[in-house]
Amino acid sequence: MWTTSSAVWLYVGESPLWLVRKFAKTNREMPLKRSITTTLAAAFALLSAPVFAQALTGTLAKIRDTGTITIGHREASIPFSYLDDKQQAVGYAMDICAKVVDAVKAELKMPNLKVALQPVTSANRIPLLQSGSIDLECGSTTNSVDRQKQVAFGPTYFVINVTAAVKKNSPIKTLADLNGRTISTTAGTTAVPLLKKYEKTGGIDVKEIYGKDHSESFLLLVDDRVQAFVMDDVLLAGQIANARNPGEFRILEESLRTEPYSVMLRREDPQFKALVDRTIGGLMKSGEIEKLYAKWFMSPIPPRKVNLNFPVSPALREAFKNPNDRGVQ
Amino acid sequence: MGISLDWSVFLQELPEGGVFYWEMLLSGLWWTLGVAACSWLIAMLFGSVVGTLRTIDNRFVVFLGNAWVELFRNVPLLVQMFLWYFVVPEFIPPLKAWVVAADPAHAQFLSATLCLGLFTSARIAEQVRAGIQSLPRGQRYAAQAIGLTTAQMYRFVLLPMAYRIIIPPLTSETMNLIKNTSIALTIGLAELTFRTREMGEYTFRFFEAFTAATLIYIAIAMTANRVMALIERRTAVPGYIAGAK
């Protein structure tokens, strides 16, 4: 990792000793204690660069020390973060994270920073982030107050509604119509506790079947094994867009709850958090996020060149106007 | 960085209230034990019959037995689970009508039990066959010489010895079966692993939840192991290979 850049700053532990190790094109290593002037020059260079005015901590220090930033991505969260037909991680969240990576490169002055990709699941994303296996999770993670006790989030980049998909000719028009029906939902999602709570407060009774992933839950609806599939609206739209007869289904207008999606990073890491907030907030202020949104939600996307046709919702418009990292209760 | 563990999570209530997380895991445990017990009965029944048929003197019946074993042994368990739950009902309209009308848990339990029972029966059949074939040929000849019918020969001479020989591999198979019940989570059966993952998703305490599940699985498998060891000792024929001390 020391071979790619011509000059690398090395920060040793908490000591104020800064060393500069210069690698010439010949890749010849200089003696560590070369001369006092080199050290002084290095110290001067450090002080003059605003970014190094204060010692780096947390994730940024880790990225600089290892020369690598590791991005956690999902494999099937269309269109946020998924593998395309070439098995490359792509998506709306991946594009946003690419901007964050660019900002990290600029901040650390490491244009050749190595970007490692690590697939994560909804079950292991938080432990992997906490253990340091990934530095930033770019997927479809709900920012909730509960989760904020364990991790931190960047500004909300998407807002979803938890609702239900039904067959077009179904008599179900509202969530209350689900009473007495059998519905499917995907195990391990926030829709599950939400639905149970709604059953209790709304006084309705539904039978749930849990699919192990969204396509299995959707299959239950396609085969008429259940009358509705309760899930985040954008994921329902993704399943419907990929169905054999997309016209056969519709999504209810009512919403069980609105949830913000965001990138996930470690807690108590003010420098990295500030960089993420600044970068993603900047995309929103400059309007650049609209272009990214249109690319993934309003145009054909890989692997099957399907168009989700999912315009920006009023809630998301609001989040773009006032970037924030408020979690849902 | 680093992971902080919080074991008090098991004593917390679920978001919808009234139920604690340890009770949630326990409710999954009953399904695990129920599926394991029912599918073990199916596996022993079909495994014994098919395994025995594979040793009789009829090439057609032996072929059918071999086909049974190869079919269930060569298809991945995960795929078989999917087929039993999602695909089979699509081809049998009355079954589909029942599945749609019935409590989802009953349909899942039935699919999981059938799937695991038949899958394991193929493995047990192989062991029963091996057990019978490991007996000296003289036993079979002796039974025939004293005029026993084929059924009597198996009932009174071959099977009592064969079962004693295969108790150790049957123990592993029983333990495997218990652990394989976790595959039923892929069809949504709320067994122990399903509940463990659910608990992880609710609390984001995956390490604690899976540690508990691991200990529970070890406890069940060890119990099964000890029970089989007891059976092995009790049924041992003094002086004979199986269980002789």
Contact A68, A57 (CB under 8 A): no
Please count the structural domains in chain A: 3
DSSP string across A97-166:
HHHHHHHHHHHHT-TT-EEEEEE--TTTHHHHHHHTS-SEEEEEEE-BHHHHTT-EE----EEEEEEEEE
Are residue A133 and residue A269 in the same domain, yes or no? yes
Across the interface, whether the CB atoms of B207 and A225 are under 8 A apart is answered: no
Q: How far apart are CA B44 and CA B124, in angstroms?
A: 7
Residue B220 lies in a domain: no
CATH code, B184: 1.10.3720.10
Residue A326 lies in a domain: no
Residues in chain A: 329
First to last CA, chain B: 54
Task: List chain B residues with CB under 8 Å of A131.
Answer: 1-3
- Asked whether residue B103 carries a pLDDT value surpassing 90, the answer given is no
Are residue A67 and residue A12 in the same domain, yes or no? no
Are residue A180 and residue A214 in the same domain, yes or no? yes
Q: What percent of chain B has pLDDT over 70?
A: 96
| Residue B158 DSSP class | I
Are residue A79 and residue A146 in the same domain, yes or no? yes
Task: Give the DSSP H or E segment for A232.
Answer: strand A228-232
Whose tokens are 């298809």? That residue is: B75
Residue B1 confidence class, pLDDT cut points 50, 70, 90 = low
Q: How far apart are CA A107 and CA B175, in angstroms?
A: 55
Mean pLDDT of B13-38: 90
Are residue A189 and residue A202 in the same domain, yes or no? yes
Residue B212 lies in a domain: no
Domain boundaries, position B100: 31-192
Residue A327 lies in a domain: no
Are residue A242 and residue A271 in the same domain, yes or no? no
Mean pLDDT of chain B: 91
A:B CB pairs within 8 Å: 70
Query: Is the ipTM beyond the 0.85 threshold?
Result: no
Disruptive mutation site among A151, A216, A222 for chain B (greatest number of B CBs within 10 Å): A216
Are residue A140 and residue A179 in the same domain, yes or no? no
Across the interface, whether the CB atoms of B201 and A189 are under 8 A apart is answered: yes
Are residue A150 and residue A284 in the same domain, yes or no? yes
Q: How far apart are CA A113 and CA A105, in angstroms?
A: 6
Q: How far is A196 from chain B (nearest CA, A)?
A: 7
Across the interface, whether the CB atoms of A187 and B188 are under 8 A apart is answered: yes
Q: How far apart are CA B245 and CA B236, in angstroms?
A: 9
Least confident window among A124-128, B38-42, B65-69, B156-160: A124-128
Domain boundaries, position A135: 59-158+259-321
Helix (H, G, I), strand (E, B) or coil at B135: coil
Query: How many C-beta neighbours within 10 Å does residue A322 have?
Result: 11
Tokens of B22: 């340890």
For residue B245, give the amino acid letter: K
Interface list for chain B against chain A, based on CB atoms closer than 8 Å: 1-3, 14-16, 86, 89-90, 99-100, 103-104, 108, 185-188, 190, 194, 197-198, 200-202, 204, 206-207
Closest alpha carbon to A3 in A112, A149, A115: A112
Give the end of a domain, one of A258, A288, A313: A258
Are residue A124 and residue A13 in the same domain, yes or no? no
Q: What's the Cα-to-Cα distance from A120 to each of A92, B86, B194, rounded to whole Å?
A: 16, 27, 19
Q: Considering only alpha carbons, which residue of chain B is nearest residue A181?
A: B101
- Asked whether residue B45 carries a pLDDT value surpassing 80, the answer given is yes
Residue A247 lies in a domain: yes
Closest alpha carbon to B213 in B40, B37, B35, B28: B28
Across the interface, whether the CB atoms of B1 and A130 are under 8 A apart is answered: yes
Residue B241 confidence class, pLDDT cut points 50, 70, 90 = low
Are residue A154 and residue A270 in the same domain, yes or no? yes
Q: How far apart are CA A311 and CA B166, in angstroms?
A: 65
CATH code, A236: 3.40.190.10
Closest alpha carbon to B111 in B224, B221, B206, B191: B191
Task: List chain B residues with CB under 8 Å of A210.
Answer: 188, 190, 194
Are residue A63 and residue A29 in the same domain, yes or no? no
Residue B145 lies in a domain: yes
Please count the structural domains in chain B: 1
Across the interface, whether the CB atoms of B16 and A219 are under 8 A apart is answered: no
More confident residue, B59 or A39: B59
* List of chain A residues with pLDDT < 50: 1-33, 48-51
Residue A241 lies in a domain: yes
Write down the pTM of the prediction.
Answer: 0.69
Q: Considering only alpha carbons, which residue of chain A is nearest residue B104?
A: A209
Q: Considering only alpha carbons, which residue of chain A is nearest residue B191?
A: A210
Contact B108, B187 (CB under 8 A): yes
Contact A127, B207 (CB under 8 A): yes
Task: List chain B residues with CB under 8 Å of A126.
Answer: 204, 206
Q: How far is A79 from chain B (nearest CA, A)?
A: 22
Helix (H, G, I), strand (E, B) or coil at B92: coil
Q: How far is A169 from chain B (nearest CA, A)?
A: 18
Question: Cα-flanking dihedrals φ and ψ of residue B64, to 5°?
Answer: -60, -40
pLDDT at position A307 is 87
Q: How far apart are CA A279 and CA A292, in angstroms?
A: 14
pLDDT at position A11 is 36
Q: How far apart are CA A214 and CA A225, in angstroms?
A: 15
Task: Give the DSSP H or E segment for B71.
Answer: helix B59-74
Are residue A154 and residue A220 in the same domain, yes or no? no
* A88 alpha carbon, distance to own chain's centre: 16
Residue B178 lies in a domain: yes
Q: How far is A227 from chain B (nearest CA, A)?
A: 10
